[in-house]
Structure 1
């Protein structure tokens, strides 16, 4: 296992980071955008804290996790690093208090009960959580949660018509800050129409909440299309770190 060889693993990750950054640069050039507009989030699900440290050493300090039971100990182990933790997976209300203890940004807010749970937890912890409204762009079928393989759990997401109300609730809740929107492209379809729709929803949202400028969209397979449609945050795992593997502690 390359995790037992830190230098080799660092070289692997450095190669992945360089390749993704080159893709981002090319996509930004094609879209007439500035690379500075893009925040690259490394989704480190199933990878060890040692990989998070290697990413940080390469200048990538935005870290995404899908599951609290993995994210919490990893965040604790890396508490000495200047990281921003993004919770990008489907979030149960009974996990809100735990997630509020370490996450800086929650991408998957899709219902009023979760807004209330996160608000209570953030106030109790004395923290401010930036929250994104997760938008369902594929209401017909469950698939992957944000950033994780299909079939593991329901994708989640609020219907587009529900986004304004949910955004208002986040903006008015104690301990929360409305950051913008997030979505996952429908499985097996051209992502461009979905990301175009998300861009329209994001623009409408900024009409009432001008500071909610985050558009979290795009993963390893569709980051170019997401950038073309105005994404500000990309959630990338496999292209940075390789195929999913069991955590080696």
Structure 2
């Protein structure tokens, strides 16, 4: 099977899963954007995905993302940065990203705004909210109680546009339970920020739970691209 055929089969299977979850939840399938995470995969795969109708691509390492964005600049893709972000790299990430999904502290906001300055449209920002219990090692994301202050900081920047929230289901927890908790956090957040309706949640193993509980974006890697290349 050619690589294009492999990717086409993976995309078809994922789109069928999304459609099934939307049907169960009484949602329109057009409400959910598929973000294909191409970490460790070559730019040639990105080109094939674009040819197969993919419009949104996710990366979580700056150097790799920057190189692919430059190589695929003529494809009209929306690049989502979804990884942990260092403040000294935030401006560089903003220079090529359409969306940064992993904003979890105020220190990132100024550099992101500087990197996004001068573009025709503001850069879209999602706040990464933690679903882990306090004190867990490696915990990523802002505490739900601190979302309001971080959102206000983003809204101060004219070159950034607050779009919503992003989260990852904690390891070892039923994703349905985690995403139900996220849905409550999101409802309270949207009540305060009515335009920030995006919710990025769900990956290859748990996308159905996320879609049923309101995800507008799902971040899918292995279910489309297969296992990561060896040596990574």
**TM-score, reference length from structure 2:** 0.95
2:211 aligns to what? 227
2:102 aligns to what? 108
Unaligned runs of 5+ in 2: none
Q: Does 1:169 align with 2:163?
A: no
Q: In 2, are the aligned partners of 1:215 and 1:232 still within 8 Å (CA)?
A: yes
Alignment length, in residue pairs?
Answer: 230
What is the Cα deviation at residue 174 of structure 1? 2.9
1:145 aligns to what? none
Unaligned runs of 5+ in 1: 1-6, 143-153
1:181 aligns to what? 165
Question: 2:71, 2:139 → 1: CA distance?
Answer: 29
Root-mean-square deviation (Å): 1.6
1:195 aligns to what? 179
Question: 1:127, 1:61 → 2: CA distance?
Answer: 17
How is 1:81-230 mapped onto 2 (pairs within 5 angstroms)?
81-123=75-117, 128-138=122-132, 139-142=134-137, 154-230=138-214
SS in 2 for 1:80: helix
Q: In 1, are the aligned partners of 2:126 and 2:166 still within 8 Å (CA)?
A: yes
**TM-score, reference length from structure 1:** 0.88
Q: In 2, are the aligned partners of 1:90 and 1:155 still within 8 Å (CA)?
A: no
Q: In 1, are the aligned partners of 2:91 and 2:113 still within 8 Å (CA)?
A: no
1:14 aligns to what? 8
What is the Cα deviation at residue 140 of structure 1? 3.9
